[in-house]
């Protein structure tokens, strides 16, 4: 029973580290399409970022890429970081 409770707490904590609506908006505003959010990205953002949303999308040049949207809590805004091209 304790293990189930621990798993639930960890899952809730990880879910709180994403802001999918903000990430989707940032990607659309930057010209990305066919956006698939992949959830929390542990290593993708800096220490000043509050939310970290992984994604796979088609970039403005038509290239399919994988990356992360890093978002701050209040006034920082969002940053799109591309990690790699997806075949």
Ramachandran quadrant class, 51 (left: phi over 0; alpha: psi -120 to 50; beta: rest): beta
User: Which pLDDT tens digit goes with each residue over 31-85?
Assistant: 999 999 999 998 889 988 999 999 999 999 999 999 999 998 877 889 999 999 9
Total count of residues recorded for the chain: 87
Show the tokens assigned to 46: 């800096």
Confidence grade of residue 7 (pLDDT, cut at 50, 70, 90): low
Cα(3)–Cα(5) distance, integer angstroms: 5
Show the tokens assigned to 1: 């029973």
The three-point CA angle 69-47-55 to 5° equals: 15
Average pLDDT (11-25) is 73
């Amino acid at each position: 029973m304790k293990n189930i409770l621990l798993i639930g707490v960890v899952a809730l904590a990880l879910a709180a580290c994403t802001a999918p609506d903000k990430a989707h908006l940032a990607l659309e505003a930057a010209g990305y399409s066919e956006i698939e959010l992949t959830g929390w990205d542990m290593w993708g953002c800096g220490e000043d970022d509050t939310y970290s949303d992984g994604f796979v999308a088609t970039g403005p040049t038509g290239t399919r890429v994988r990356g992360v949207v890093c978002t701050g809590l209040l006034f920082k805004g969002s940053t799109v970081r591309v990690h790699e091209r997806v075949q």
